[in-house]
Amino acid sequence: MEKGWLGLPYHTISEHYNRLFQEKVYKIPVSVVDDCPNRRGLKGMQTCVFCDVWGSAANAESLSMELRTQIEKYHDHIKHKYKANAFLIYFQAYTNTFTKVSALRHNFDVALSYPWVKGFTLGTRPDCLSKAVLDLWQEYHEKSFVAVELGVQSFFNDELEFMRRGHTAEASIEAIHKIASNTKVDLGIHLIFGSPQETDERIIETAKIVNTLPITNVKLHNLHVLKQTPLEDMYHAGEFTPIDRETYARRVKLFLQHLSPTIALHRLAAYSSRWDELVAPEWTKNKMGTHQAIIDYLRAEKAYQSELFTARNEEEQRVQKSLEAKSQPITSVHA
Ligand code: SF4
């Protein structure tokens, strides 16, 4: 007899992609821009408190390589490691729409020139969405898969001010609707949990706001301290204490419990790709350990995504039932 689980107690991004592509797709992260409005100091903006010199995601090696070199290097590595056949190019670091439309078009064309590339996904901010950019996304959506990840981070303005994001919650909501009404790209948002002003009630409210938005996915991060960031100075001055793992896990649980079952989750916490640059908290160093600890907590609490959400249509009911089943322990017999 062997005890097991039917699956993870939340709607994973892999399920979302499997539905769209009928096969497993792998992301190739690339870096093509090295700037954003905050770093440029436009309109008095400042660098986001958590952002390191690599724009929160890129690395020096990638930025110094041609786009084709980056794509081919990662492709060869991932194909060999996972026997992968289908890929998405992920324009990840900095603000990928903070550049000329002609440069964007060139990068998209390079990405789509490989037969094994199924489309691309790009990260940007709510205040870098010109009509020309939206038109370009829609144009490429009509011939390929296009996904956009919007750095919303919080729906509370005092938290956004603490993070020095330089945009409001209202601007994020407006941007989401603007993208959804002008394009059909696959739209997701990033959220950061762990600001000093955050409460359990705000997390529940955040899930309720997300449920009203025309998005398909969310990526969760915990606010962690990297070297060479404004947050590092605040941390050393005793002005910021990172959220502890138990509190973070509880907030992820509350968020998931109130979240619509149809919204997929990329991941449940931030995992620093440059461990030597992580200052705090220590628990975020161990990628698999952090993920497993959150999953273990959800299972111990018998909690699952949408558990406290009232389904509004048949699709939500169907997915909600599958998530409920996935959260239950099973017993199987092996001969
Ligand atoms: S997080 Fe994004 S918007 Fe903020 S400073 Fe870094 S690259 Fe710029």
DSSP 97: T
- Which segments in the chain show pLDDT lower than 50? 1-3, 332-335
| Distance between Cα 257 and ligand 1 center (Å) | 30
**Burial class of residue 247, CB neighbours in 10 A (0-12, 13-18, 19+):** middle
Q: What is the CATH number of the domain that holds 10?
A: 3.20.20.70
**Which of 52, 125, 163, 231 for a ligand 1 pocket mutation test, highest count of atoms within 8 Å of Cβ?**
125
Domain assignment of residue 45, given as a range: 2-332
Q: Which residues contact 56 (CB under 8 A, 6 or more apart)?
A: 48, 50, 93, 94
Does pTM top 0.85 for this prediction? Answer: yes
Ligand 1 midpoint to CA 55 (Å): 6
Q: Where are the beta strands (DSSP E) in 15-69?
A: 25-30
Ligand 1 centroid from CA 46, angstroms: 9
**What is the chain's percent helix, strand, coil content, to nearest 5?**
45, 20, 40
Confidence (pLDDT) at 60: 58
Residue corresponding to tokens 């090696």? 61
Which residues are CB-contacts of 229 (< 8 A; sequence separation ≥ 6)?
A: 47, 49, 50, 51, 52
d(CA 155, CA 203): 10
Q: Going by CA atoms, what residue is nearest to atom 4 of ligand 1?
A: 48
**How far apart are the CA of 298 and the centre of ligand 1, in A?**
31
* Closest C-alpha residue for ligand 1 atom 8: 36
| Protein residue whose Cα sits closest to atom 2 of ligand 1 | 94
- The set of protein residues with a Cβ atom below 6 angstroms from ligand 1 is 36, 38-39, 47-48, 51, 55-56, 94-95, 125
HSE value, Cβ hemisphere, 13 Å, CA-based, for 130: 10
Ligand 1 center from residue 223 Cα (angstroms): 14
The domain tally of the chain equals 1
Instruction: Measure 151 CA to ligand 1 centroid, in angstroms.
Output: 9
Phi, psi of 55 (to 5 degrees): 70, 35
Ligand 1 atom with the smallest distance to the CA of 55 is 7
Ligand 1 atom closest to residue 50's alpha carbon, by position in its atom list: 1
Please report the atom of ligand 1 found closest to the CA of residue 36. Answer: 8
Amino acid letter, 3:
K
For ligand 1, the distance from its centroid to the CA atom of residue 104, given in whole angstroms, is 18
Do 146 and 185 contact (CB within 8 A), yes or no? yes
Distance from residue 40's CA to the centre of ligand 1 (Å): 10
Residue 116 CA, ligand 1 centroid: distance in Å: 30
Q: Which mutation among 35, 46, 51 tests ligand 1's pocket best, with the greatest number of atoms within 8 A of CB?
A: 51
pLDDT at 330: 61
Instruction: Return all residues near 269 (Cβ < 8 A) that are at least 6 apart.
Output: 220, 221, 222, 248, 252, 284, 290, 291, 294
Per-residue model confidence as pLDDT tens digits over 147-188: 999 999 999 999 999 999 999 999 999 999 999 999 999 999
Question: How far separated are the first and last CA of the chain, in Å rounded?
Answer: 9
Cα of 247 from ligand 1 centre, angstroms = 26
CA distance 333 to 251: 35
Tell me which residue has tokens 């399920």.
15
Q: Which of 31, 48, 127 to mutate to test the pocket of ligand 1 (most atoms within 8 A of CB)?
A: 48
State the virtual CA torsion across 145, 322, 211, 268 in degrees, nearest 10: -70
Residue located nearest, by CA, to atom 7 of ligand 1: 94
